[in-house]
Copies of this chain bind each other. A is one copy, B any other.
Amino acid sequence: MSASRASTRADVARHAGVSTAVVSYVVNDGPRRVAPATAARVRAAILALNYSPNVNARALRTGTTGLVGLVVPDIANPFFAELAQAVELALAEHGDLLVVADTRTDQATERRVVADLGRRQLDGLLLSTVLPPGELRRLGQPGQRTVLLNVSSPFDGYPALGPDAEGGAYAVVEHLVDVHGHRSVALVIGQSSEPVPAPRERGWGRVFQDRRLPPGPVLRTSFGRIGGYQAARQMLAWRERPTAIFTSSDEQASGVLRALREAGLSCPEDVAVVSFDGTPETEFTSPPLTVARQPVQAMAAAAVTTVLEPGPAPGYQQFATELVLRESCGCVGADARKPASPPA
């Protein structure tokens, strides 16, 4: 209502009878010391005038904005939503703000967005990319420090971090094979832009390699729920349907579960399902999902530290996933919980 013009440090200086430098020292708690009495007067003036520093002016002067960007393929995907939340929390502890950009898993959009943010003088950029590695390298160094998120191996030229996707996939598929006796596990995985098989695929494949078993079928589809749903429908139409499915994301698993249900099949009795991510909703699906859970909090904290910390960037930080056993693999009280289902 009031404030026809916000007060500036000059107003405060005048009001307190000091110089603007002193105001600055008080506001920033340095770099010079200020006499307690003077400081008190300045603080009183700040309160009286309801002064708050102009962030843009400071940014112009210091070259730092207190803003960190996060670029993700799909913020509505529970995994990225959880990641964004964790990153925001970690940033808040540093007094920094989170700028979110969503690329809709589209390469062109990502190019535009990254170029855009590169021009913005953010203090750092956290990037979960869908661009092929080669192109990313050609991106050159944008103004700010960039950390790659959600990658599963060292990435030349950038600090990077992510889950041990191969290990996580191995563990959860191995569980299906060794504990539940499945001889074959179908893989539902997102379209990869890389020439090498994605880590989740490698982990899955290695389980069978190690046991000299033929790997199960591979279905490449989109990462979302629909992708999982379609992949499962396809498989259920086969003459010989798989007894177990490993999906590369929780959302795909959600789609698979729906397809199973529509087909009148029960999980885990008819088809076991396990997935990768372990977002909170996996505890609430029907049945609850056995997953390789990503340590989201830890990765977010590390990402923020890496992007904000001065000094030489660490190369690659890998995070172990956690195998969470629930009902969908056949482990926990699967029958006690389904008194309504027939003996089959």
Residues of A whose CB lies within 8 Å of any CB of B are 1-3, 6, 52-57, 59-60, 63, 65, 67, 74-76, 78, 81-82, 84-85, 88-89, 92, 97-102, 113, 116-117, 119-121, 140-141, 143, 225, 229, 254-255, 257-258, 261-262, 264-266, 280-281, 283-288, 337-342, 344
Contact = CB atoms under 8 A, between A and B. Distances in A.
A280 B225 contact: yes
A65 to B, nearest CB: 7
Given A76-B280, A101-B97, A286 B257 contact: yes
Contact of A258 (B88, B265, B284): B284
A116 B141 CA distance: 31
A142 to B, nearest CB: 10
B76 A88 contact: no
Given A60-B60, A76-B81, A121 B225 contact: no
Nearest to A256: B284
B140 A1 contact: yes
Contact of A56 (B59, B97, B98, B225): B59
30 contacts: A54-B60, A55-B120, A56-B63, A57-B60, A74-B85, A75-B85, A75-B88, A76-B280, A78-B78, A85-B102, A88-B100, A88-B102, A92-B113, A97-B101, A97-B116, A97-B120, A225-B280, A225-B281, A254-B281, A254-B284, A255-B284, A257-B284, A258-B283, A258-B286, A261-B287, A264-B337, A264-B340, A266-B340, A340-B342, A342-B342
Can you tell how many copies of this chain the complex includes? 2
B97 A99 contact: yes
B52 A56 contact: no
A205 B74 CA distance: 38
Max count, chain B CB within 10 A of own CB: residue among A59, A257, A344: A59
Nearest to A344: B340
A5 to B, nearest CB: 11
Nearest to A342: B342
Nearest to A70: B100
Contacts of A56: 56, 59-60, 63, 65, 121
A60 B118 CA distance: 19
A119 B53 contact: yes
A76 B76 CA distance: 8
Contact of A339 (B89, B116, B264): B264
Contacts of A262: 337
Contacts of A143: 6
Sorted nearest first, the 8 A-B pairs with minimum C-beta distance are A286-B286, A264-B339, A81-B81, A56-B59, A56-B60, A52-B119, A254-B284, A76-B85
A67 B1 CA distance: 22
Max count, chain B CB within 10 A of own CB: residue among A57, A82, A340, A342: A340
